[in-house]
Amino acid sequence: MHMRRNYHRHIWILSGTGDGPPLVRILLQNGWKVSVSVVSSQAALAYGDLPLESLWIGPLEGTQAIANVIEKARATHKGFDWIIDATHPFAQVISSNLNVVSRKHKQPLLRFDRCCKKSQNASLIKNYCELLKLNLSEERILFAIGSRHLPEALSCGRKAGATVFARVMPTVEGLRKALMCEIPQSHLAVFKPLASDEIGEIESALCRRWKITGVVARESGGSTQKIWQNISLQQGLKLWLIARPALSKNIKVVNTFAELLAEI
pLDDT along the chain (264 residues), means of 10: 55 88 93 92 87 92 93 92 90 90 95 78 89 94 89 93 90 79 87 65 93 93 85 94 83 88 90
pTM of the model: 0.81
Segments of the chain assigned to CATH 3.40.50.620: 122-242
Provide the phi-psi class of 214: left if phi over 0, else alpha when psi is between -120 and 50, else beta: beta
**What is the strand order of the sheet 214-218 is part of?**
122-125, 238-242, 214-218, 140-144, 163-168, 188-190
CATH label, 2-113+247-263, candidates 3.40.50.1970, 3.10.129.10, 3.40.50.720, 3.30.360.10: 3.40.50.720
Please report the pLDDT score of residue 7 as a whole number.
Answer: 54
**What is the strand order of the sheet 82-86 is part of?**
54-57, 33-38, 10-15, 82-86, 109-112, 252-254
Task: Please state whether beta strands 188-190 and 214-218 pair in parallel, antiparallel, or not at all (unpaired).
Answer: unpaired
Segments of the chain assigned to CATH 3.40.50.720: 2-113+247-263
Burial class of residue 149, CB neighbours in 10 A (0-12, 13-18, 19+)? middle
Please report the pLDDT score of residue 48 as a whole number.
Answer: 87
CATH label, 122-242, candidates 1.10.10.10, 3.90.1300.10, 3.20.10.10, 3.40.50.620: 3.40.50.620
Please report the pLDDT score of residue 194 as a whole number.
Answer: 63
Please report the pLDDT score of residue 132 as a whole number.
Answer: 94
Please report the pLDDT score of residue 173 as a whole number.
Answer: 78
